[in-house]
Amino acid sequence: MSTLTRNRLIGFALALTIFAIDQWVKAWVTGPLSIDRIGDYMEVLPFFDLRFVQNFGISLGMFQATSPEMQMALIGLTSLIALVVTVWMVRETAFGDIAALAMILGGAIGNIRDRYLNGYVIDYADLHFGEFRPFMIFNVADAAITIGVVIILVRSFLLGKKDADDSQEPAPDAAERPNA
């Protein structure tokens, strides 16, 4: 098996693992912990609660889907994005990018499944410092998507600059070129 094939298989395994962890935590919070209605919460640490929220939108609550038609449109849109990420992941060769795309894919599939089964995404992780909340309430899938996007951006800025620097090197003289 080639290294590239192995890296892609690891990527798909990572996506599946993130999906499974996301679904397991959501089931645990809403099942055994019984945090399954608006207003339900459990303080875990002074700055972290498990708090049930129904997210009818996407990132940062944008594009609220309040009707069944809008929910299906949002499922279709996010599924299309997941498909694009999958194709990108299959075409990618760098393991760092494959892993980051796998995180995005696993998180996206977890949230798509929630939206399809419930009509909304289950969010529960509430990080706060007093009344200050640096993030909206989120879940494992959201965290994986965010981390994956940050990795892609950092890698593109760092590696993109390196590639640009390499391309600015002067071309070798004719005498230095092989087979000249």
**Residue numbers annotated as active site:** 123, 142
- More confident: 54 or 175: 54
For 34, half-sphere exposure in the C-beta direction (CA atoms, 13 angstrom radius) is 0
Residue 164 has pLDDT above 60, yes or no: no
- DSSP conformation class of 94: -
What three-state secondary structure class fits 159? helix
φ, ψ (nearest 5 deg) of residue 30: -85, -15
What is the Cα–Cα distance from 73 to 79, expressed in whole angstroms?
A: 10
- DSSP conformation class of 179: T
Q: What's the confidence (pLDDT) of residue 179? A: 56
- Cα Rg of the chain (Å, integer): 21
What is the Cα–Cα distance from 91 to 47, expressed in whole angstroms?
A: 41
The secondary structure element, H or E, covering residue 114 is helix 95-118
Q: What is the pLDDT of residues 33-91, one digit of tens each?
A: 999 999 899 999 999 999 999 999 876 566 778 788 888 989 999 999 999 999 999 99
Residue showing tokens 């279709």: 76
Q: What is the pLDDT of residues 109-140, one digit of tens each?
A: 999 999 999 999 999 999 999 888 888 899 99
